[in-house]
Structures are given as C-alpha cells and as structure tokens.
Amino acid sequence: MNAIYIAKSYAIQNNTQTIFCISINQTDCVKTKSWRSNWLIFIDKNNNQKRDNNEEILLQNIKIPKEVSILFNNPLKRITFKNTGLISSNNTFNVCLTSGKFGNGVVFTQTGRYRISNKNYRC
C-alpha cells in the first residue's frame, strides 16, 4: 500500500501525473492480472501513459514475498494517478497467501482511496 500512497501523493504534491504498473523492461507497462513483481512507479510528464527516457522513476523492481499473490479482477495495464490524485476507474485486487483459497480484496475508488473489503475473494 505504501507504493500506491507514494504514487498518489507525488502526483498531488507536484501537480503531475504518475503511473503505477508492472514492467518487464522498466519502460513499457504490461497488461496482466498478476501484480507480484516488477512494479514501476514513474512520473508521466507528457501524459502518454508510458515511461520515456527523460521521465523520473519513483520506485522500481519492488518484489512481493513468494508466499503472497496479488491479482486484479481483470487484466490491468496501469493505474494512472492524475495531478488531483484521482484515478480513471474503480479497481479491485485480491491479496492472498499462496497456500490459501481465499484472500482479502482491496478496493480502489476513483478518488484514489482504497479500503479493505469484508468479502472473501477467491485466489
């Protein structure tokens, strides 16, 4: 959750757009349901939804412990925080221990806020 806070806070404090995504090469965001590794958070100065060479990386290569999986309900390419801290749509991801069948849902609203869902989500 700290990574998301960093992306949102930076966008607001610096009046700029930030992108939080999964990236294999630290440039291009990839569309995937699994968000276990290769996190990338960067400043998107020109709002083109990809990292250009002159755009600063805020966080990269964050790895999640192997006992934990993070899955979005739908394949997602990126979470874009506008300069207001808003995101384009609601999203939910499941945080699960790999040994379990169910996990907790983390629901993101368009305001960029999140909450832990009481509902058990299938892993």
Q: What is the mean pLDDT of the chain?
A: 86
33: confidence class by pLDDT, cuts 50, 70, 90: confident
| Phi, psi at 54, each rounded to 5° | -90, 5
pLDDT digits (tens, 9 = 90+) for 63-77: 778 888 888 777 788
| pLDDT reported for residue 18 | 96
pLDDT digits (tens, 9 = 90+) for 8-22: 999 999 999 999 998
| pLDDT reported for residue 16 | 96
Question: What's the CA gap between 94 and 39, in Å, rounded?
Answer: 16
- CATH code assigned at 32: 3.55.40.10
List beta partners, residue 95: 70, 104
Range of the domain at 62: 2-122
Question: What's the CA gap between 94 and 76, in Å, rounded?
Answer: 13
Tell me if 49 sits within 8 A of 30, measured CB to CB: no
Number of domains in the chain: 1
Q: What is the pTM of this model?
A: 0.83
Contacts of residue 101, Cβ cutoff 8 Å, sequence gap at least 6:
122, 123
Nearest to 7 by CA among 40, 31, 36: 40
